[in-house]
Structure 1
Amino acid sequence: MLAKANRIVAATDYRGLVRSGRKARGSLTLAYGRRSEPGSPMRMGVIVARNVGNAVVRNRVRRRIKAVGWSLAQDVRGLDVVFRVLPSAAAADFGAIDGEVRRLVAKLQERA
């Protein structure tokens, strides 16, 4: 589970990142990111729509993405990221999700 300092919880933060953040696309997710204050902890949020699957599937995908975010939070600073999960993520294993989330966060760090 992500620490409280690493979570995006406000709807305005989600909306702002999706509307004005840099976008990176993968086969399983879309990632929106922007720089926050230098040295501040990475904050992360996940959007999983109903078209991904039933509640069990959506929560499993969300937990997997947050687990990767938890491991990245120690290394990444000054970045806010929101992941929008695509339906293809429902059938993906943890290794595929892990690789894509790490790749997209690295890409957003370069761009932002």
Structure 2
Amino acid sequence: MLAHANRITTADDYRGVVRRGTRLVSPNAVTYLRSPRTEQAGASEPRFGFIVAKSVGVAVVRNRVRRRLKAASYTMLDQVKPGIDVVVRALPGAASQPYGVLCQELAASLRKGSALV
């Protein structure tokens, strides 16, 4: 599980990353990356946020997709540059994909966005 310091928790932070961040599209998710935050306290930790809309499926399916994305981000936490904010928006196809595929897509998006160390 992601520590509190590694989670995006406020609507303003989500909005800032989605509106002003770099957008990377993969088959099952859209990943938004925002460059390091230097003006905020605690900017040394990368932070992740997840958006799983009702179009992905019923609540059980949405929660499973969110848990898989959280687990994938946790495994890559030590490879992400400090201060980067990442928001992952799951697309409807993510519900039918295994954990390995979601993990590979997230890693590819982070690599493409130069968010990895």
TM-score bracket for this pair, using the shorter chain length: over 0.9
| Cα deviation 1:69-99 (Å, max 9, x = unaligned) | 1111112123110011100001001111010
CA–CA distance in structure 1, aligned partners of residues 69 and 87 of structure 2: 11
Runs of 5+ in structure 2 lacking a partner? none
Pairing 1:26–2:31 present: no
Q: Percent identity?
A: 45
TM-score normalised according to structure 1 size: 0.92
TM-score normalised according to structure 2 size: 0.89
Q: Provide the aligned length of Structure 1 versus Structure 2.
A: 110
Paired letter, 2:3:
A
Measure how far apart 1:2 and its partner are. 0.5
> Aligned to 1:32, what secondary structure does the other structure show?
strand
Measure how far apart 1:37 and its partner are. 3.8
Task: Please name the residue that 2:105 is paired with.
Answer: 100
> Aligned to 2:79, what secondary structure does the other structure show?
coil
Measure how far apart 1:5 and its partner are. 0.9
Runs of 5+ in structure 1 lacking a partner? none
Paired letter, 1:44:
F
Runs of 4+ off more than 4 Å: none
Paired letter, 2:68:
R
CA–CA distance in structure 2, aligned partners of residues 87 and 44 of structure 1: 20
Task: Please name the residue that 1:15 is paired with.
Answer: 15
Q: Among residues 50, 54, 59, which one is paired with 1:55 in the alignment?
A: 59
**RMSD over equivalenced CA pairs, Å:** 1.4
